Structure 1
Amino acid sequence: MDPQLSLRRLEIFRLVVEERSVTRAAEVLLVAQPAVSAQLRALEGWVGAKLFARQGNRLVLTEAGERTERWAREVLAGAAQVRRDVGDLASGETGRVIIASSMAVGTYIVPPIMAEVGRQRPRADITVSISRPEEVVHAVESGECDMAVLNWDQRRLPENIASELLGSFSLSVYAAPGLVPDGARLSAAEALRLPLVGAPDTVVYQRNLVTQLRAAGHEEPRFLLRLGHAEAMKNAAVANGWALIAPAYAVRAELVAGALVELAVDDLQLEEHVTLIHRDDKHFSPLQSAAVAAIREGVTATAERDLLETHHE
């Protein structure tokens, strides 16, 4: 018995079944009839039973042949599906991508970018998880995610992590309407004496903010309340008539709704850096490469939009 079974042999068998004739199958395949007969004998040797019986001038399937034909149909259909699936993977239409992100970046920047990727590739499996930056870096290093987009404070990353600065975003002072008279221009010291909502000292965003303030010679403001997410910070500022320091992308909805206004502040130049990181030995699938390209383009577009929409008079 021939131990080898090829898809080609099953395809020839199925064609003979469809044509009910070895001769006609050979004509379709443009091969000699003995070549088709040899393939059938080899398949019969593999299954250990006769597959055809002759009724007059026609070939009909035996009971073993009927069972083999059903199985061959399933095998060939499965093989075709595998080819389609692998082809889709190669084109980036399917597959999986897991992106980790820090709080604000993962809330306001990454989701709309990846939503567009998902809209263009509805069969792709796309996940965006949100954690503290240190946990995000660990997830990348351990291989739990394919890449990460985060606000990083330029501390040294592990040696096996590659990083790419995607964009820099200005941080401005935003306040509930009425906290500062309309049209007022504040000095940096005046702005920093406003009732401010901040983040915990352990949060990268807050460390980055305080480091820049100290480097510019400003005293660290006294934050009335420290909250761990931009949404909570904004809600507290709006509800209590307070202020906060944030990137424009994080407060866009509140600015449009009039719940917050940007304050004109002199000599207060603050920014945050949004970085893409991944293992330096990471091999990106076509889908993951498409995600990286979309993130690069999306972060750049967000930075440009913030620059256009943010005015300091």
Structure 2
Amino acid sequence: MSTVSDLDTWRLFFKVVAKGSIAKVAEEMRIEPSSISRRLNKLESELGTDLFQRRGKHLVLTAAGSLAFSRMRRVVFDAASVFKDLQDVHHNEQKHITIVAPIGFSEEIISQALGEYIDMDSTVSFSLRSLGYLELISPDSFSNFDVVITPVQVNISTRDSKLICGLENLLVATPEYLAAQKYPIRSPRDLREHHTFSYYSQGREMNFFLRKGSESFPLHKHSVVRFNHPGAVKNIVLASKGIGLYCPKYFYIKELLKGKVVPVLSDWTLPLQPIYLSRKDRNRIEVERFVNWFCDFIQDLPGLVPPDYEGYWVSDSNDTTVV
């Protein structure tokens, strides 16, 4: 296993940060300091950057170390909470379904689905976990979940995986923001004159091109702020601070209907983000029943399109002329 995806190594990293000394951590854990040093050195080597620098007798975080500490602490704590929840489930195993999904999809789609499902069958219970750092968690972590919903296909031999829908994406801004601008936005090039905000994950945004006919325009180079939570993009857009790039339409349905936000460059097309579902055990009747119902449920939701849609997807190659 890569050290980067080894949660125990990150816990060791946190201990050294707290103590400011490898020797103190080694004494507390009753292991050799060299053992800790080797694991941290390997972690730094795989990351390609130093996490610590020595200041006298103490170790202090570098800029990269501070970033790793703030980001990975949540990942590790969330993972620990997941494992504890799974171990502490006292419900009938055949009636309890565990689900993991991206943050935005969990908040807007799955929560709505579960609310309707338990109205139909109150004997089934669920545990839902949201992933904000999907690309940083080892696929091994998925093995304990009955249902995994991701924007990338999960290639695990013990699971079956299928494309269940595509997410429509928009550029959005408030009418107030647009009205305050000196010039209207007529071309993607005009976005360079505005503050733009995006929702990203590793590798995802590199494939986002606006398209119109034979023309295309890359969006991944133009965000002034990138977030890993669609809610953060929505908040800053609703504050009339700029334009949200490749915003999932389902996350803005209420705001679009009420006129709080409007599409920008609506004559240009953004690619659909594929959404995959994989399940652990096809033989569990409750899981099979829920999955079949859920796949039917999402077909009628605005902002989601069926998997047989023949339009422009994120995975499509960019064979148009870049403007």
TM-score range for the pair, normalised by the shorter chain length: 0.5 to 0.7
- 1:299 matched to 2:301: no
Aligned AA for 1:259?
A: K
Deviation of 1:235 (Å): 0.5
Deviations 1:194-222 (A, max 9, x none): 3211235xx25xx3233232994525333
Contact 1:177–1:241, Cα closer than 8 Å, also in 2: no
Instruction: Check 1:192–1:239 CA distance in 2 against 1; reply closer, same or farther (3 A cut).
Output: same
CA shift digits 1:20-76 (9 cap, x unpaired): xxxxxxxxxxxxxxxxxxxxxxxxxxxxxxxxxxxxxxxxxxxxxxxxxxxxxxxxx
Supply the distance in 1 between the matched residues of 2:219 and 2:151 (Cα, whole angstroms). 23
For the Cα contact (< 8 Å) 1:209–1:270, is it kept in 2?
Answer: no
Contact 1:213 1:219 in 2 (8 A): yes
* 8 A contact 1:186–1:266 mirrored in 2: no
> How many Å apart are 1:253 and its aligned residue?
2.4
- Equivalent-residue separation in structure 1 for 2:305 and 2:165 (angstroms): 11
Instruction: Give the Cα separation in 1 of the matches to 2:304 and 2:219.
Output: 31
TM-score, normalised with respect to structure 2: 0.55
Contact 1:105-1:151 within 8 A present in 2 as well: no
Structure 1 counterpart SS, 2:234: helix
Q: Which residue in 2 is equivalent to 1:164?
A: 162
Say whether residues 1:262 and 2:263 are aligned partners: yes
Task: State the match for 1:76 in structure 2.
Answer: none
Q: CA 1:179–1:304 in 2, change beyond 3 Å: closer, same or farther?
A: closer
**Counterpart in the other structure of 2:151:** 151
CA distance in 2, matches of 1:297, 1:117: 12
Aligned residues: 205
Moved more, 158-167 or 114-123: 158-167
Q: 1:259 to 1:136 in 2, by over 3 A?
A: farther
Which deviations, in whole Å up to 9, do the C-alpha atoms of 1:146-172 show, x marking residues without a partner?
0112222x5x73344421111112211
2:282 alignment counterpart: 283
Alpha carbon RMSD of aligned pairs, Å? Answer: 3.1
- Cα deviation 1:73-124 (Å, max 9, x = unaligned): xxxxxxxxxxxxxxxx8xx9x7111111011111111111121111111121
- Does structure 1 conserve the Cα–Cα contact (< 8 Å) formed by 2:210 and 2:218? yes
Q: What corresponds to 1:110 in structure 2?
A: 110
Structure whose alpha-carbon radius of gyration is higher: 1
CA change 1:269–1:195 in 2 (3 A) is: same
Kindly indicate whether the alpha-carbon contact (under 8 Å) linking 1:193 and 1:221 is maintained by their aligned counterparts in 2.
no
Question: Cα–Cα, structure 1 residues 113 and 284, in superposed 2: closer, same or farther, change >3 Å?
Answer: farther
Give identity over the alignment, percent: 13
**Which amino acid is 1:268 matched to?**
T
Query: Aligned residue for 1:208?
Result: 204
Aligned to 1:177: 175
Q: Is 2:117 aligned against 1:121?
A: no
1:250 is matched by which residue type in structure 2? Answer: F
Map of 1:224 onto structure 2:
224
Distance 2:113 2:178 in 1: 35
Q: Is the 8 A contact 1:166 1:274 kept in 2?
A: yes
Aligned-partner Cα distance in 1 for 2:296–2:290: 10
SS in 2 for 1:179: helix
Instruction: Name 2:141's counterpart in structure 1.
Output: 139
Does 256-265 or 293-302 show the bigger shift? 256-265
Q: Name the CA distance, whole Å, in 2 between partners of 1:302 and 1:139.
A: 29
Q: For 2:282 and 2:228, how far apart are their aligned partners in 1?
A: 34
Higher fraction of helix: 1
Q: Which runs of 5 or more residues in structure 2 are unaligned? A: 1-91, 307-323
Does 2:272 align with 1:271? Answer: yes
Task: Letter of the 1:167 partner, please give it.
Answer: C
